[in-house]
Amino acid sequence: MIIKRDELIDFQKVQLDPVGTVYIYKGEMVRVIEPQFRESVEQFMKSKLFDRLIKEKLLVDTSISEDVDEEGRLILKHKRITPYTSMEQWSFEMMKETAKLVLKMNMLCWKHGYELKDCHQANILFDGMHPVWIDFGSIEKRKRISSRAGWTAHKNFLQYYYYPMKLWSKGYENIMSSFNNFSVKEMKRILYHLPACIAEPPRAIKILIKIWAKVIGKNSFREMQKLYSKVD
């Protein structure tokens, strides 16, 4: 079946994913894949990695539609998750679960020659109490396969998870509403100048923070796998 352009509802103000544009079609979430990415998308969806991500409920349920658009482009169907919750509404525990999701996703991707090219919180939604990755286009093949090659998104992880959580655990509970306005250097500076009277975070949180710091510093899959086992 051919889906006409005017049947697709563009619900996003800005479309930044070059792989494909997300629309609402007859109440369903669909992604129209750009022609130059069709082969790589089909290859990924036939991979063991894709099966594993879906089986472990890390990636939002996704399938290839029998429909195409007027230009014959490939269309994916995604599970529509409601209600939508933004990162400003997350609790500390929800933030911790999203960080664990990011690490587990990247470790699995790493094992199969892929990686997450970015990892900001807008790529994640909570399906009930369970976080799932929704940004299909941010999973891509690693350009450098060497075990010593770093994770492309490690700076994202520092800015969006490591330092905001460290500040949050120090008493900056409103950090999630403003951390995007701060660079990693600025967040480091805030932490350095924190008064000593602020209560220390629970030991479990301190250990988790140290583990994440090591994950960022040690980029090999084997090291990430070893450290994640201490978090899980």
Does residue 161 contact residue 99 with C-beta atoms inside 8 Å? yes
Instruction: Report pLDDT for 98.
Output: 92
The Cα 90–Cα 153 span in angstroms is: 22
Record the tokens describing residue 62, joined without a space. Answer: 């996704």
Peptide bond into 83 cis (omega under 30): yes
Closest to 84 measured CA to CA, from 11, 10, 181: 11
pLDDT tens per residue, range 68-113: 998 999 999 999 998 888 888 888 899 889 999 998 999 899 889 9
Looking at domain 2-78, does it have CATH number 3.30.200? yes
Instruction: Report pLDDT for 149.
Output: 61
Record the tokens describing residue 1, joined without a space. Answer: 């079946």
Residues of the chain with pLDDT under 50: 196-202, 205, 216-218, 230-231
Q: Locate tokens 């599970």: which residue? A: 79
Give the dihedral of Cα atoms 216, 139, 133, 11; nearest 10 deg: 130
87: Cβ–Cβ under 8 A, 6 or more apart, which residues?
95, 121, 122, 176
Helices (H), ranges, the chain = 38-45, 48-55, 92-111, 154-157, 163-169, 184-192, 203-217, 221-231
Instruction: Report pLDDT for 89.
Output: 86
199 C-beta neighbours (distance < 10 Å), count: 8
Report the CATH number of the 87-231 domain: 1.10.510
The Cα 159–Cα 179 span in angstroms is: 8
For CATH 1.10.510, the residue range(s) in the chain are: 87-231
Record the tokens describing residue 47, joined without a space. Answer: 């991979």
The Cα 134–Cα 9 span in angstroms is: 18
Instruction: Report pLDDT for 224.
Output: 56
For CATH 3.30.200, the residue range(s) in the chain are: 2-78
13: Cβ–Cβ under 8 A, 6 or more apart, which residues?
none
Any bridge partners for residue 59, and if so which?
Answer: 133
The Cα 205–Cα 209 span in angstroms is: 6
